[in-house]
Structure 1
Amino acid sequence: MKNRGLLLFQILLVIETTLVSSQCLDDQKSLLLEFKRLLKFNATASTKLVHWNPSTEDCCKWGGVVCDKSSGHVVGLELDGESINAGINSSSALFKFQFLKKLNLAHNFFNSTEIPSGLFNLTSLTYLNLSNCGFSGQIPEGLSRMTRLNILDLSDYFIYGKSSLKIENPNLQVIVRNLTELTELYLDGVNLTAQAKSWSQTISSLLPNLSVLSLSNSQISGPIDPSLERLQFLSQIRLDQNNFNETIPEFLANLTNLKVLRLSYCNLQGMFPRRIIQIPALDFLDLSGNGKLQGSLPEFHENGSLQTLVLSLTKFSGMLPESIGNLELLSRIEIMNCNFSGIIPYSMENLTRIVYLDFAYNNLIGHIPFLQNSENLAYLDLSLNRLSGTIPSTYFKGFVNLAHVDLTSNLFTGNIPSSLFSLQSLRHIKLSQNHFSGSLDDFSYAWLPNLDTLDLSSNNLNGSIPVSLFELKSLNILSLSFNSLTGSLQLETVNRLENLTTLDLSNNYLSIETSHDSSIQMLPQFSTFRLASCKLKSFPNLGKQSRLFVLDLSDNQIEGTIPSWIWTLGDGRLSYINFSCNQLMSFQEPYVMPRLSILDLHSNQLTGNIPVPPESASYVDYSANNFSSSISIDIGKNLRFAYFFSVSNNRLTGTIPDSLCGSIYLRVLDLSNNRLSGMLPSCLLGWGLSLGVLNLGNNKLSGKISGIYGKNCGLKTLDLHANHLEGSVPKSLVNCTILAVLNLGNNKINDTFPCFLKNSSNLQVLVLRNNHFHGDIQCPEPMSNWPQLQIMDISSNQFTGKLPQNLFLNWTSMMGYDDGARSKVNILRYDFLKLNNFYYQDTVTVTSKGRDVELVKI
């Protein structure tokens, strides 16, 4: 401890000299001017160097210059962020400041040059900061001569040029072998690959006085050597963004002075030791981004030091302990996307200093926590849980700093608390996907002058939209979709929201009226414009929209022609168009589709040739129209990146193009209910790896069902019903382990009962009716492995023998069948592009008492 006290005295002495300026000596002034003369820097960005002027006598008063109190020698240069990009080389006057103790060149840009060797002649330095300077290459061995260093920062968070700093040869041991006085070491972003596993032993054996160890994103790995426990002065450990691929050793809990522990995105796994969280001095803990890391929160003792706790994107689970209320200094807690469950403890009311609270994406239940004592709360996110109950109208009263409220995807009921709309600090209100009801109160710009986002979608709100809402001048995002709002609205009313970029009023009971005069051109510049199911009778005049990205006008009453100006919207940015469920009949010529990702035109009355899909498309739906052409033989070239393609329920003729087999990303291909003929392309039947749904039913296809499914088959639906197909059922379907729907009805297939599918445990629908199947339905082994089977139709075949009684007793899922057009059981849905909430809905036609009934499972 005596040496430790001496070290502290030396550090305080350095601090004292850096705080006092004195009349500098002439030789020091000359050196400074010579140093500046060779530097290259951006004079307009510089705040210090630009004012170094020879006419000013006292150079100790120049920005960034610190002189010794008594001697006038320059002992400190603080030149961080001065836009220096060259001029420090082996002959620089910088290296002649023999009394220099502190040098800070952070946040300049030396254009990927190596650290100049002359720098290491400054052997009096106790502080050296070269972080984010753009130096690159091997850190020189000469650094080891700077034996008085207390603080060394060579961090390289941003990569300039072709390479960044590294320690390889000489290695870390050689570099730091003489730096025994170091108390703080920052090598964040420095490439330590060569020291990946030896770093902890090197540091623990050579740097006994270390209090700060920062090696974030340095490409180090585990194991963390137990010798690190020797560094009892350690107060901060920052090892974020490395790849340890191991559990965290419990010995870290013995570092009783530890205040900061940052281990985010380190590929940690196993169980995190609770004792570490209970270190008395610990005030900052970040374990986020370790998707395999498990753990639970311990009991927290009174008077704990913890101020920041970040566990997001881990597998921490269990209940939040009631003792969390003992963390009275806690200002930030993030447990987003973990597995916490149970109620939020009532003791949260003790967290009076909380500023940032994120409990999103867990399994929390019960009522919203009482936080009225947390007057400094600025960020509240409880989304994607199962919280319920009503929220008192006065709940948000007094939160004068609250800027963000997100209660999305919970089970809240009752009216939206009126106090929420009286907070001038609010920027984001997100309450979508709950059960809030009632009408919307009037809004006041005076109450909400900073409101950027208002998302109340997917609730049970009713009544009309208050006109006062359109006075919220700062509003950027407005979403009221999927409610029960009523009334009519002139679209030009939106003109008042001049900063609006996202508008979504879809799926209410609104009637939106559009004008075609010049005033409509004053609409804000939208990125997202959604007016689905708004009783529109014509296209709004959006011709001036140069930033549009998403356009949804589906389920309206728009009829006639799609105007050609639609395809020019967004100046090339337009990516999403949905005009489905209207009364559109044709395209205005000429038209060229932009680089769309989503194009949905289904359920209209479009005729003629199928439009060539844009080559960038991932989702194309032309189904339920009156297209009567053949499918272009080259259409596969335009579907190279497509996940979904449907032209079902049209009047298409001709054959299925082989080019479709080049669309290797397709998950859903639906060509059903057309007049397609010819042979079934064998490549489609061997497409099991990516294709989840293949529906070619109700066409005029002929030939055998040929093709081989591999072991990675991902097929969930195969529907070939109502064609002229012959031969047998492909035995390779046994590899399609997630197959749920197999519909081969109304063909000419000649085969026996498909006993080879006995282990297809996901099978839910099996339709073989009206073919030439024959033989005994009883298989050599009991068919007890279809636990989810709900529909089996084998009628109008030549099966013989007795129906096995045990067969039906094992198919218990049939007992949940609802005899009608719709079932309560969610079985025939194939999800794909889940981020866009897209799915494919199967239908199955069965015959009951001589009558065909189409079943849609939802």
Structure 2
Amino acid sequence: MKFSLSLSQFLCSILFLFHFHTTISSSFSLNHSSSNHLCAHHQSLSLLQFKQSFSIKSSAYWEDCQPKTESWKDGTDCCLWDGVTCDMKTGQVTGLNLSCSMLYGTLHSNNSLFSLHHLQKLDLSFNDFNSSHISSRFGQFSNLTHLNLNYSNFAGQVPLEVSRLSKLISLNLSGNNHLSVEPVSFDKLVRNLTKLRDLDLSSVNMSLVAPNSLTNLSSSLSSLYLWGCGLQGKIPGNIFLLPNLELLILRDNEGLTGSFPSSNVSNVLWLLDLSDTRISIYLENDSISNLKSLEYMLLSNCNIVGSKLALFGNLTRLFQLDLTNNNFSRQIPSSFGNLVQLRYLDLSSNNFMGQIPDFFANLTLLADLDLSNNQLNGTIPSFLFALPSLWNLDLHNNQFIGNIGEFQHNSLQYLDLSKNSLHGPIPSSIFNQENLVVLILASNSNLTWEVPSSICKLKFLRVLDLSNNDLSGSAPQCLGNFSNRLSILDLGMNNLRGTIPSTFSEGSNLEYLNLNGNELEGKIPMSIVKCTMLKFLNLGNNKIEDTFPYFLGMLPELKILVLKSNKLQGFMKGPTTFNSFSALRILDISGNNLSGSLPEEFFNSLEGMMTVDQDMIYMTARTYSGYTYSIKMTWKGLEIEFVKIRSFFRLFDLSNNSFTGEIPELIGKLEGLQQLNLSHNSLTGHIQSSLRFLTNLESLDMSSNMLTGRIPVQLTDLTFLAILNLSQNKLEGPIPVGMQFNTFDASSFQGNLGLCGIQVLTECNNGAVPPLPPLNFNEEDGFGWKVVAMGYGCGFVFGVTMGYIVFRTRRPAWFHSMVERQWNLKAGRTKKNARIHGARRN
């Protein structure tokens, strides 16, 4: 082979030869990355071209990644470059590990990567290849034994040519959610890759692949990861009988059926995860007991049949046991006391009852214990607080009573005792838990305590939720400075007095601040604007005396602002800064003494309420995704507590104030609104016909004002409107008929002596409704005549049909309820990610 050396490479060679006699002994001990052969020039060139075909892009998902290709410099030995491995004899590049290298761009089929014909190991995982298709040229790497492309944003179909890689020992394509595999490709893959030991296709779409194809998997297979692949149908029983199978993960394939065999299961299996499948596991036979090598068993939300839970106690090597959400309704079996190797035990979301058994005191290696969402009762035994390795303790939503015991070790990082019936003081030993990250003691009602400033000594604390208790005293001022660590602070529904902490500092991580339902006084501190990540602020139901806090509009991510039932007063005005309150989705300033006219400029800044969000996910904290936002608010006339807030919620409540003047016409821009409440003010003038554009509106309350004129007939276009209250005004003329208006009874219109129609039992003398004056919106505002025409045209058929059905059923919310049911079915139950995905034996 012909070599072309650069000057620097030549000098390096001379120096190497010059010193060879003094370094010969050490040269034999050099590893592969310090080969005594310089890599071929064409290989260096190919690698440099590969480098140049991608940009370096940081990502919040891979915060710890390093750009390995930055060490690749022309004129240096490529065998010394980061991620490059060479054969020590030939100098050929045989390995390329660019995992987590911040690569971004498209991997085309003509990329120079495919000229590295001697590659044996290729790892491009944890990069972003921008929905590239996996090229058929991967099939040319005939020497490849290891291929890892996981979590690198590949899309399309897995090419048939991958099945040509007959030497493959390990294949990992997982985490590419837009990647799919066809039945023919998968069948060839499992038939041809006879040396395969590790196969991971988690999150790859295999919905068209018949599970029976798995029958042909190599008998040499030691690990099989098919997490969340959309598999449907009956799993072949021989999967559990593969002689060398050590790890089997089939979780999150809800259409996967079949049964766990009653005998002859693999005796080397040490990890089994069948969570969220419909594979039947029978506890009436002894097959579970035969898994003597098992260290990890995850069977959450499974089809477990039988009552012999005690069988799990025979698996004495278990390191982790997860039986979440299986409707077990009995006491925790005493045989679990045999599992002395347990580190992780999750029995949450069942119906376990009785007290926590004494055998838990013997599980001294236990690090993570989750018994939440059961029916356990009695006091929390003190031995739980003495377990030396325990870092996660979750007992929320049970029936525990009594005091919280003293903590005898300081290993805790996560503690959740919320939604029980605990009482008495919170133990001072909690402040010794120097590694504590999450502390949730909410909704016990009878916990009494003055929150001391020493709580701010917990330097790693990110979540503090002490809401819905009987806490007294004042909120420590140090909590403001503490905000650069905290992301969640919830002290709502207690008896705290004094003022809101005013020491919020720069660099704050605070996303959720709830001080609702206390006895706080004074003003809203300006320092809150330093909390630039704040999304949720609830200061409602206190005694705050202040004007409307316009400075809060400077918070760029603020989505929910609740200031209801305080002593706010004074006029409202337009925004003081650009993009003020632009992200706001829920604004509740009801029950104050705000006055003056409603400023048009303020309505015009509420961009978050002008957009329609179809996203059904719940709002959670970015820095701690396990914590969902909750709020109590008036929804469709009822006080409702939303323990979870869907991201599409849009609410605007200005009720029970002293606002005067006319309703701004620009209110029609808030197209995303589902609830609008302007009731109990002193508003005058007409009901704006621009309300017709609030097509998502479900509840409209303008009662107890001084509104005059007719009810705009255009309001009949609001096909989702379930609640309408226009009572106690000075409205006149005929009540519109048809569509949703046929579902509203007299209570929606009472107290308007000038109205006529069947709802108020007053016949109209003239049924003709005079036309309303034209709107003043121009097309730049998004309300031009073309938009109106399109809206009428598109909605006519749907509206007429809806109106007829609603008129016949008298159920204005039936459609909304149907959709809500579907959302609830799809949303499912949020669980912690499995800790062992990708696990390998130590």
Q: Deviations over 1:549-569 (max 9, x none)?
A: 33322222223x314335345
Q: Distance in 1 between matches of 2:746 and 2:96?
A: 65
2:682 is matched with which residue? 675
1:426 is matched with which residue? 390
| Largest Rg, 1 or 2 | 1
Decide whether aligned partners of structure 1 residues 188 and 84 sit closer, same or farther in structure 2, where only a CA change above 3 A counts: same
| 1:374 and 2:339 aligned | yes
Q: Which moved more, 1:297-306 or 1:398-407?
A: 297-306
1:468 is matched with which residue? 429
1:507 is matched with which residue? 468
Q: Distance in 1 between matches of 2:305 and 2:746?
A: 36
Decide whether aligned partners of structure 1 residues 599 and 833 sit closer, same or farther in structure 2, where only a CA change above 3 A counts: farther
2:516 is matched with which residue? 554
Q: Return the match for 2:651 from 644, 654, 660.
A: 644
Q: Return the match for 1:700 from 685, 706, 722.
A: 706
Aligned partners of 1:167 and 1:190 also within 8 Å: no
Q: Deviations over 1:61-83 (max 9, x none)?
A: 45424999xxx9999x9x99995
2:570 is matched with which residue? 608
Decide whether aligned partners of structure 1 residues 535 and 714 sit closer, same or farther in structure 2, where only a CA change above 3 A counts: same
1:155 is matched with which residue? 123
* RCO higher in structure (CA 8 A, sep ≥6): 2
Secondary structure at the aligned position of 1:366 is classed as: coil
- How far residue 714 of structure 1 moved from its aligned partner, in angstroms, is 4.1
Matched residue type, 1:259? S
Q: Which moved more, 1:126-135 or 1:251-260?
A: 126-135
- How far residue 436 of structure 1 moved from its aligned partner, in angstroms, is 1.2
Decide whether aligned partners of structure 1 residues 163 and 108 sit closer, same or farther in structure 2, where only a CA change above 3 A counts: farther
- How far residue 189 of structure 1 moved from its aligned partner, in angstroms, is 6.4
Q: Return the match for 1:285 from 223, 245, 248.
A: 248
- How far residue 746 of structure 1 moved from its aligned partner, in angstroms, is 4.4
1:216 is matched with which residue? 174
Matched residue type, 2:697? L
Decide whether aligned partners of structure 1 residues 646 and 715 sit closer, same or farther in structure 2, where only a CA change above 3 A counts: same
Q: Distance in 1 between matches of 2:112 and 2:272?
A: 39
Matched residue type, 2:588? D
For 1:552-631, what aligned pairs fall within 5 Å after superposition? 552-559=514-521, 561-570=522-531, 572-587=532-547, 591-595=551-555, 596-610=558-572, 614-631=581-598
Q: Deviations over 1:259-278 (max 9, x none)?
A: 32222343444555555345
Decide whether aligned partners of structure 1 residues 317 and 526 sit closer, same or farther in structure 2, where only a CA change above 3 A counts: same
Q: Distance in 2 between matches of 1:34 and 1:605?
A: 78
Q: Distance in 2 between matches of 1:427 and 1:782?
A: 56
- How far residue 460 of structure 1 moved from its aligned partner, in angstroms, is 0.3
| 1:497 and 2:444 aligned | no
2:418 is matched with which residue? 457
Matched residue type, 2:701? N
Matched residue type, 2:386? S
Aligned partners of 2:337 and 2:360 also within 8 Å: yes
RMSD: 5.0
Q: Deviations over 1:292-319 (max 9, x none)?
A: 634365245355343223345x453766
Aligned partners of 1:152 and 1:186 also within 8 Å: no
Greater share of residues in strand: 1
1:264 is matched with which residue? 227
Matched residue type, 2:525? S
Aligned partners of 1:599 and 1:621 also within 8 Å: yes
Aligned partners of 1:492 and 1:520 also within 8 Å: no
- How far residue 462 of structure 1 moved from its aligned partner, in angstroms, is 1.2
Q: Return the match for 1:234 from 192, 196, 211.
A: 196
Matched residue type, 1:692? E
Matched residue type, 2:535? S
- How far residue 441 of structure 1 moved from its aligned partner, in angstroms, is 1.4
Gaps of at least 5 residues in structure 2 are 48-64, 610-649, 766-803, 828-842
Q: Deviations over 1:490-539 (max 9, x none)?
A: 522424434434333222223224677x9997999543333223322211
Aligned partners of 1:675 and 1:699 also within 8 Å: yes
Q: Distance in 1 between matches of 2:745 and 2:235?
A: 40
Matched residue type, 2:313? E
- How far residue 476 of structure 1 moved from its aligned partner, in angstroms, is 2.8
Matched residue type, 2:210? I
- How far residue 454 of structure 1 moved from its aligned partner, in angstroms, is 1.7
Secondary structure at the aligned position of 1:654 is classed as: strand
1:720 is matched with which residue? 726
Q: Which moved more, 1:713-722 or 1:251-260?
A: 713-722
- How far residue 36 of structure 1 moved from its aligned partner, in angstroms, is 10
Secondary structure at the aligned position of 2:123 is classed as: coil
Q: Distance in 2 between matches of 1:770 and 1:716?
A: 22
Q: Distance in 2 between matches of 1:351 and 1:32?
A: 65
Decide whether aligned partners of structure 1 residues 686 and 367 sit closer, same or farther in structure 2, where only a CA change above 3 A counts: farther
1:417 is matched with which residue? 381
Secondary structure at the aligned position of 2:365 is classed as: coil
Aligned partners of 1:245 and 1:268 also within 8 Å: yes
Matched residue type, 1:371? F
Decide whether aligned partners of structure 1 residues 627 and 352 sit closer, same or farther in structure 2, where only a CA change above 3 A counts: same
Q: Deviations over 1:571-600 (max 9, x none)?
A: x23333222112223239895544132221
Q: Distance in 2 between matches of 1:364 and 1:741?
A: 50
TM-score after normalising by structure 2: 0.69
Secondary structure at the aligned position of 1:387 is classed as: coil
Q: Which moved more, 1:587-596 or 1:214-223?
A: 587-596
| 1:329 and 2:287 aligned | no
| 1:85 and 2:99 aligned | no
Gaps of at least 5 residues in structure 1 are 1-27, 39-48, 95-102, 110-118, 753-767, 775-780, 791-826, 838-858
Decide whether aligned partners of structure 1 residues 374 and 771 sit closer, same or farther in structure 2, where only a CA change above 3 A counts: farther
Matched residue type, 2:427? P
Aligned partners of 1:746 and 1:769 also within 8 Å: no
Q: Distance in 2 between matches of 1:784 and 1:274?
A: 55
Q: Deviations over 1:373-425 (max 9, x none)?
A: 22232223333x23231233524223233222223333222222322111221
Q: Distance in 1 between matches of 2:725 and 2:821?
A: 17
Q: Distance in 2 between matches of 1:83 and 1:531?
A: 46
Aligned partners of 2:260 and 2:279 also within 8 Å: no
Q: Distance in 1 between matches of 2:397 and 2:71?
A: 56
Matched residue type, 1:284? L
1:532 is matched with which residue? 492
Matched residue type, 1:213? L
Greater share of residues in helix: 2
Decide whether aligned partners of structure 1 residues 359 and 615 sit closer, same or farther in structure 2, where only a CA change above 3 A counts: farther
Decide whether aligned partners of structure 1 residues 707 and 440 sit closer, same or farther in structure 2, where only a CA change above 3 A counts: same
2:631 is matched with which residue? none
2:664 is matched with which residue? 657
- How far residue 193 of structure 1 moved from its aligned partner, in angstroms, is 6.1
Decide whether aligned partners of structure 1 residues 614 and 590 sit closer, same or farther in structure 2, where only a CA change above 3 A counts: closer
TM-score after normalising by structure 1: 0.68
Q: Distance in 1 between matches of 2:199 and 2:725?
A: 59
Q: Deviations over 1:440-496 (max 9, x none)?
A: 11223xx2x221222211110012222233332322322222113344425224244
Aligned partners of 1:575 and 1:598 also within 8 Å: yes
Aligned residues: percent identity? 26
Q: Deviations over 1:790-847 (max 9, x none)?
A: 9xxxxxxxxxxxxxxxxxxxxxxxxxxxxxxxxxxxx9x9999999x9xxxxxxxxxx
Secondary structure at the aligned position of 2:312 is classed as: helix
- How far residue 543 of structure 1 moved from its aligned partner, in angstroms, is 1.0
- How far residue 364 of structure 1 moved from its aligned partner, in angstroms, is 4.7
Matched residue type, 1:152? Q
Decide whether aligned partners of structure 1 residues 37 and 247 sit closer, same or farther in structure 2, where only a CA change above 3 A counts: same
